[in-house]
Structure 1
């Protein structure tokens, strides 16, 4: 969706090269012009199962804020070295957004409404629906499909394009023998 609103969108940009056997630092998305017109913004996503037993004694705002602090500790210095900003996009499996994700969503809605010359309310419904579908697809293997070839099920038409817009495959049902 960011590609529809802004230019200069990169997926999995390298923020910091690894050296001496240490891993580098890679964000999920880089977008130019989100918070400042001429400044790059880096984003890293995290979907949290707030109902997990390890979070049973904590409420969602505390869980989300803790995850955001962890992301900021990891990425802020690298973003600063690149003269860019960093924002974590954190949400629960149920689609509850952390404050920074909600702010990004509002910026996306405003940018799309301006670009498409449509009411923000109309764009907001579309963006929120797409976000929810993305979250569901991220947590559900049934909708994501498998990455393995299932030859034991007599799979046919492997090269057919049956994926969704973003290329994620849909699970296929085996065809009946003719």
Structure 2
């Protein structure tokens, strides 16, 4: 993604199950913030050293967004609404629907255990099946 000042941005997504047993002692907002902070500590400096901006996009499996992720998406919605010549509300609704669909796909894959690459394989008789790789 290109920004105004022609910097390249690295976007790293993480979907967190804030209700997991390992997070039982924490508030869901703090869990998301800790996750984003961990990503920043790990990747921000190496990205900056190579001339990239780094933004972690952290959300919970039920669609709650971390504060910085929400701010980033608001900026994207604003810029897209200008480009598409649409209202902020229309573009925001569209983006939220897309994010919700992405969350459903991610949650479904986590529940089914297919976090790797999925490839379609033909089986005898022309039927196809999805096979998880990795």
TM range, smaller chain: 0.7 to 0.9
**What is the RMSD of the two structures over their aligned residues, measured on CA atoms?**
2.5
Change (3 A) 1:149 1:59: same
Normalised to the residue count of structure 1, the TM-score between the two structures is 0.63
Scaled by the length of structure 2, what TM-score is found? Answer: 0.81
Q: Which residue of 2 aligns with 1:129?
A: 97
Higher relative contact order (CA 8 A, sep 6+): 2
Local SS of the residue matching 1:135: helix
Q: Alpha-carbon deviations, 1:82-139, whole Å to 9, x = none?
A: 2221110000000000112111211221111111101000110000010110011011
Runs of 4+ residues deviating >2 angstroms: 145-151, 154-158
Q: Using a 3 Å threshold, how does the CA distance of structure 1 residues 74 and 150 change in structure 2: closer, same or farther?
A: same
* Greater strand share, structure number: 2
Shift of 1:147: 3.9
SS in 2 for 1:54: helix
Number of matched residues? 125
1:156 to 112, 126, 130: 126
Structure 2 residue 47 is matched with structure 1 residue 79 = yes
Distance (whole Å) between structure 1 residues aligned to residue 7 and residue 105 of structure 2: 31
Q: In structure 1, how many angstroms separate the alpha carbons of the residues matched to 2:6 and 2:121?
A: 44
Is 1:32 matched up with 2:12? no
2:75 aligns with 107
Deviation of 1:156 after TM superposition, in Å, equals 2.8
Structure (1 or 2) with the larger CA radius of gyration = 1
String of CA shifts for 1:69-90, please: whole Å, max 9, x gaps: 1101111111211222111000
Aligned-residue offset at 1:155: 6.3
Runs of at least 5 residues in structure 1 that lack an aligned partner in the other structure: 1-30, 159-168, 170-178
Structure-2 residue corresponding to 1:60: 28
* Runs of 5+ unmatched residues, structure 2: none
